Amino acid sequence: MTDDADRALLVRHAGSGGAWESPEMTAYDNEDHLQSIIAAAPQHVPGVPDGALTVRELPTSAGPADVCIVGPDGDVTIVECKLASNSERRRLVIGQVLDYASAIWRDGAAAFREHWSRQHGPDLDALGEGGSTQLDHNLADGRIHLCLAVDQIDADLRRLVEYLNAITRDEVRVTALQLTYARHGDLEILVPSTYGGEIAAVKARSAGQHATWTKDTFLDALASAADRAVAERLFGLLEAIDESDGTHDDLWFGNRPGGGVFLHPYGLRYSPMQLWINKSGRLMAYGNWRQYDAVRHHPGFAELAHLVGQDHQSSMKGFAVADLDLDRLWPVVLRCARRINAQETTGQETTEEDRRASRGAESRVE
């Protein structure tokens, strides 16, 4: 941000040769006015690309967040707006944006989607499977970016942005957005200025925020040869499936280091299981019975959950894949994929499909 952003605006009619004069209006009507501009043009917020979706006054258990933005890649940004005329704007904007972000994290992905829909936000299905899955991961892990939107960035606010970036995770960016506004007749003037974007970009590069797993990098990140062998075998079994009843890639790779690798047998939409790597470099997995709202706690997950000692009506808990008999696990994974995606393929579950999935799996497991 430069001092140029603080200079007064002057206007005149083009070609008139007349004197430059101050605009008729150089302030927002109120904070709602500032909110509406950001919601309509979220690309002014640092780090937010074109094509982002927005909703205003998103309900949370801590109160409504002024503007919530979801990027095409599933990134989540909370924007809190305060005007210079608000005497406690700095304390309020910091406290509120942290409060709302923590509430969104605690409330969970299902509540977020429900509240988004209730506020008539754009359809989140527009993100596609990858963006939607990453959105749920970001919400579950608390990767929520914070933006403090004001009509004037001062030295105190810059200090607060620097401090919050220093103490928060590398995956979380904290920025400030100044939108200087003026109106002259039917002409509106908007001058965006930002602070903290470069600091946040350095954090993002440090965290490898936009780097996704590949098959090779995932295998290389495993600490033991035994876990690598198990992962390689799983990938091989997945690739060996000849038939396809869907359009999804058989593997979907999340962001590293904490994202998962989702297995999509038969190219079906809903993945029965995801792989991930814990802090010790161990190959772990989750059953996905809480991953997708459409098939949350679906009875088709019951057999898989029972095999790993869990309840498909409860939470997803990680389990070490190498501790299981892969000859037993893989057929169960395939049956689970068929069952939870039954509505996507035939409109109903059929025992013949289950038998076919089981026979195919047993013939391929060596």
Q: What is the pLDDT of residue 87?
A: 54
- Residue 93 pLDDT exceeds 80: no
Q: Where are the domains of the chain?
A: 3-207, 215-364
- Residue 106 pLDDT exceeds 60: yes
Mean pLDDT to the nearest integer, 42-50: 90
Least confident of 186-200, 232-246, 308-322: 186-200
Q: CB of 305 within 8 A of CB of 312?
A: yes
Instruction: Please say whether the dihedral angle defined by the alpha carbons of residues 264, 304, 222 and 326, taken in this order, is positive or negative.
Output: negative
b/e code 5-24 from CB counts within 10 Å (16+ = b): eeeeeebeeeeeeeeeeebe
Instruction: Please say whether the dihedral angle defined by the alpha carbons of residues 210, 130, 277 and 76, taken in this order, is positive or negative.
Output: positive
Predicted confidence (pLDDT) per residue in 148-174, tens digit: 988 888 888 888 889 988 888 777 889
Mean pLDDT to the nearest integer, 17-37: 79
Smallest CA-to-CA distance from 136 within 319, 262, 308 is with 262
Listed as own residue / partner, the contacts of 22-31 with beta carbons closer than 8 Å and 24 or more positions apart are 23/182, 23/183, 23/184, 23/189, 24/183, 24/184, 24/185, 25/182, 25/183, 25/184, 26/181, 26/182, 27/151, 27/181, 28/83, 28/151, 28/181, 30/83, 31/66, 31/81, 31/82, 31/83, 31/86
Q: What is the pLDDT of residue 362?
A: 36
Smallest CA-to-CA distance from 183 within 27, 21, 38 is with 27
Q: CB of 276 within 8 A of CB of 284?
A: yes
H or E element, residue 163: helix 155-167
Query: Looking up tokens 């499909």, which residue turns up?
Result: 353
Strand segments, DSSP code E, in 73-223 are 76-82, 144-150, 174-184, 187-195
Q: CB of 245 within 8 A of CB of 268?
A: yes
Mean pLDDT to the nearest integer, 251-266: 84
CA angle (50, 127, 214) in 5-degree steps = 95
Q: What is the pLDDT of residue 179?
A: 86
CA distance 289 to 286: 9
CA distances from 95 to 88, 100, 141, 163, 247 (A): 11, 9, 20, 14, 45
Read off the pTM: 0.58
